[in-house]
Amino acid sequence: MKNILYSVKRNSFILLSALTIGGLAACSEDFLDVEPEGEPVGADFFVTPEHAILAVNSIYGNLREWNVIAFAHLAITTITSDNAAKGSVPGDAGFLDEYDNFTITPTEGQLNGYWNGQYQAINLTNQVLTNVPLINMDETLKQRLLAEAKFFRAYHYFNLVRTFGGVPLRLAVPVVGEQEDPSTLNLPRSSSEEVYAQIVKDLTEAAAVLPPTYPTAERGRATQGAALGMLAKVQLYQRNWQQVVDLANQVEGLGYRLVDDYYSIFRIAGEHNAESIFEIEAQTIPGNCPASNSQWAEVQGVRGQFGWGFVEPTEDLVNAYEEGDERLDATILFRGETTPEGDLINPNAPNPRYNQKAYVPGFVTNECGYAKDQNVRILRFAEVLLMRAEASNELGDTQQALADLNRVRVRAGLDPIESATQEELRNLIWHERRVELALENGDRFFDLVRQGRAAEVLQAQGKQFQAGKNELMPIPQQQIILSGGTLTQNPGY
């Protein structure tokens, strides 16, 4: 049958050719080669130095993404902790209660969002790290851009490894124009040690290249201090105390210092002050709300007055502040209070307390929504001091530990600690870490796990934290399904 048809076709072809008039000459393969309209083609990308810069820019832009910085981030890092409860009104975004109560199951949606968000960021860094080396461009600039990408690859893997433990370690993407080997398309989880090793490698390499500062116009790029400070934190998690001290010393050598007014750190005018080491840039771009998209502060804003009212600081956190600690008022916004900027916080707001580090005064524009101008403070020098204090204490260098601890305390209006045993000092430093960094960048839950006291502290808060299980979040069920079982679940889930 087919043969008959095909021979009919051949004959018809001759006739058809006779039929075609003039214009059908256009009906060649060229007529059928159509370039995508209004979209640059991948094959033409990663060719010029400008492309390298554009690709690195998108790593920064991606930091503001909902999945990376909003609900999922706050749920996993902060609502889990003893610093904050879900907030808002009962039932609103009730799934976040699962983080408050540690009833999280693998299908809870924020998990998958967080996983995808971090890996989408890692893909952007891998795009740069694979393709930019092939671009013919100024070598110094190229090396710096690659170092920036390494910094962020490490940053995002650090978020993943803290949250999930070992995860698939993807470090390269196909060069544009090449296809991927399908066998590499279903990576199993690497061990957390392997992930940490890669993070250390990336940060070390980044720190060697990144400049200590940038011109004002470039403010916000990852610096050498950011890489060193982040590396110090990574080493802290791995209890490599000496490295922590060495790295903190290097950071200090770059000229960072504590600013006098703790409250000012978290205001827009305090962005990139002398203490700031790394911040996620957020800004209302007039007329461009799609780019003014950081919702980190919006979801935490005073409910009904400014924002959504999630992440309600706990009573326990309030009580953690010593008498006279200036940081209490700078960290927690009480309903009914009047802020230094003159906003009266609605006395009838549904929650007694809100995160003041996410507070943006009412006079700042909300044309793209509340608080699109609030940078997220990721790393500041005070934390570096506390890391060095903790590591020094573990190494037995009480003097250094006390000195660093007291720099932070005194700035907060507290008396210095004169002396303490190693055990006492350890607890004091941990406590100081909590009150200094509360509700800021989401370290509290991971600190408790790292310090080996998550069960003790969180159970005391009435949470259903199970030791041996809840130290890690479950791997998102959807990812296990998509992997056909190659990805394995964490114990207990």
Partner 1 sequence: MKRKFLLLVMCLLTFHLSFAQNTITVQGRVTDAETGQPLIGAGVVVQGTTTGAQTDADGNYTLSAPADGTLTFNYLGYKATSVPINNRTSINVQMETDAATLQEVVVTGYGVQEKRDVTGSIASVKSEELVRQASQNPVSSLQGKVAGVNITNTGQPGASPQIRIRGTGSALGSADPLYVVDGTFVDNLSFLNPADIESIEILKDASSAAIYGVRAANGVVLVTTKRGRSGEATVNYNGFVGVQRVTNQLEMTNAREYAQLVNEKNGSELITTNLPSTDWYDQILRTAMIHNHQVSASGGTEKVTYSASAGYLNQEGIIEGNDYRRITARLQTDFQINENIKVGYNGIFYDYKSNDIPGDIFYQAYVAPPVIPVFKANGRYGDPVDFPVGNFANPQASLDWFNQESRGQRLTGNAFAEVNFLQNFTFRTSLGLNYGIDEYRNYRSRDSLTTVQFASRSLLTQQRSKTNMWLWENTLTYDKTFGDHDLTVLLGTSAQEDKSNFLTGFANDVEFNSDANLYLDLGDPETVRIEAGGNRATFVSYFGRVNYSFLDRYLLTATLRYDASSKFPRGERWEYFPSIGLGWRVIEEDFMSNQNIFDNLKLRASWGRLGNNNVPSNIFILRVATDERFGAIRNGVLYPGWNINTTTPSTLFWEVVEEFDAGLEMGFLDNRLTVEADWYNRKTKDAIFGVTPLGYLGLGGQILGNYATFRNRGMELIANWNHDISQDFSYSIGANFSRNKNEVTDVAIENATFYNGNLPVGGYQVSVTRVGDPIGSFFGYEVEGIFQNEQEIENSAQPGASPGDFRFRDQDGNNVIDERDKRIIGNPNPGFTYGINTSFRFRSFDLQIDIQGVADVDVYNGNRNVRYGNENYDKDFYDNRWTGPGTSNSYPSADLTGRNLDPSDYYVEKGDYIRIRNLQLGYNLPESVVSTLKMRNLRVYINAQNPVTWFKYNGFSPEVGGAPVSQGIDRNVYPLSATYNFGVNATF
Q: Which of residues 97-156 bind partner 1 (CB under 8 A)?
A: 97-98, 103, 105-110, 112-113, 115-116, 119-124, 126-127
Q: Which is nearer to partner 1, 1 or 136 (CB)?
A: 1
How many Cα atoms are found within 13 Å in the side-chain-facing hemisphere of 265?
Answer: 31
**Binding residues among 280-299 for partner 1 as defined by CB under 8 A:** 281-283, 285-288, 290-291, 293
Beta bridge partners of 310: 87
**Binding residues among 447-476 for partner 1 as defined by CB under 8 A:** 476
d(C-alpha 428, C-alpha 435), whole Å: 11
Q: From the CB of 307, what's the least distance to partner 1, in Å?
A: 10
Backbone angles phi, psi at 279, to 5 degrees: -135, 150
How many residues contact partner 1, by CB under 8 A?
Answer: 118
**Binding residues among 308-347 for partner 1 as defined by CB under 8 A:** 308
87 binds partner 1 (CB under 8 A): no
Stretch that binds partner 1, among 40-48, 246-254, 333-341, 353-361 (CB under 8 A): 40-48
Q: Are 22 and 28 in contact (CB under 8 A)?
A: no
**Binding residues among 218-277 for partner 1 as defined by CB under 8 A:** 218-221
Q: From the CB of 483, what's the least distance to partner 1, in Å?
A: 6
* 9 SS3 class: helix
193 binds partner 1 (CB under 8 A): no
Q: Which residue in 482, 488, 491, 492 binds partner 1 (CB under 8 A)?
A: 482
Q: From the CB of 70, what's the least distance to partner 1, in Å?
A: 13
Q: Are 488 and 189 in contact (CB under 8 A)?
A: yes
Nearest to 275 by CA among 226, 205, 208: 226
Q: Which is nearer to partner 1, 392 or 470 (CB)?
A: 470
Q: Which residue in 191, 365, 422, 488 binds partner 1 (CB under 8 A)?
A: 365
d(C-alpha 255, C-alpha 270), whole Å: 17
d(C-alpha 187, C-alpha 483), whole Å: 8
Q: Which is nearer to partner 1, 167 or 206 (CB)?
A: 167
* 323 SS3 class: coil
d(C-alpha 219, C-alpha 379), whole Å: 15
Q: Which residue in 48, 61, 257, 324 binds partner 1 (CB under 8 A)?
A: 61
Q: From the CB of 191, what's the least distance to partner 1, in Å?
A: 15
d(C-alpha 88, C-alpha 310), whole Å: 5
Q: Which is nearer to partner 1, 233 or 372 (CB)?
A: 372
Amino acid at 28: S
For 177, other C-beta atoms within 10 Å of its C-beta total 8
Q: From the CB of 128, what's the least distance to partner 1, in Å?
A: 8
Q: Which residue in 39, 139, 260, 423 binds partner 1 (CB under 8 A)?
A: 39
Tokens of 157: 């893997």
Q: Is the dihedral of CA 376, 80, 321, 333 positive or negative?
A: positive
CA distance readout (Å), 357 to 10, 36, 114, 233: 76, 45, 22, 21
Instruction: Name residues whose C-beta falls within 8 Å of residue 423's C-beta, 6 or more positions apart in sequence.
Output: none
H or E element at residue 240: none
Q: From the CB of 5, what's the least distance to partner 1, in Å?
A: 5
Stretch that binds partner 1, among 165-173, 192-200, 432-440, 449-457 (CB under 8 A): 165-173
78 binds partner 1 (CB under 8 A): no
H or E element at residue 312: strand 310-313
Q: From the CB of 59, what's the least distance to partner 1, in Å?
A: 8
Q: Which is nearer to partner 1, 309 or 436 (CB)?
A: 309
Beta bridge partners of 353: 334
389 binds partner 1 (CB under 8 A): no
Q: Which is nearer to partner 1, 241 or 370 (CB)?
A: 370
d(C-alpha 173, C-alpha 181), whole Å: 10
Q: Which residue in 49, 211, 212, 350 binds partner 1 (CB under 8 A)?
A: 350
Q: From the CB of 120, what's the least distance to partner 1, in Å?
A: 5
Q: From the CB of 16, what's the least distance to partner 1, in Å?
A: 5
Instruction: Name residues whose C-beta falls within 8 Å of residue 449's C-beta, 6 or more positions apart in sequence.
Output: 162, 471
d(C-alpha 15, C-alpha 283), whole Å: 66
Stretch that binds partner 1, among 96-104, 253-261, 321-329, 334-342 (CB under 8 A): 96-104
Q: Which residue in 88, 240, 273, 441 binds partner 1 (CB under 8 A)?
A: 88
92 binds partner 1 (CB under 8 A): yes
Q: Which is nearer to partner 1, 241 or 308 (CB)?
A: 308
Q: Which residue in 48, 54, 416, 492 binds partner 1 (CB under 8 A)?
A: 54
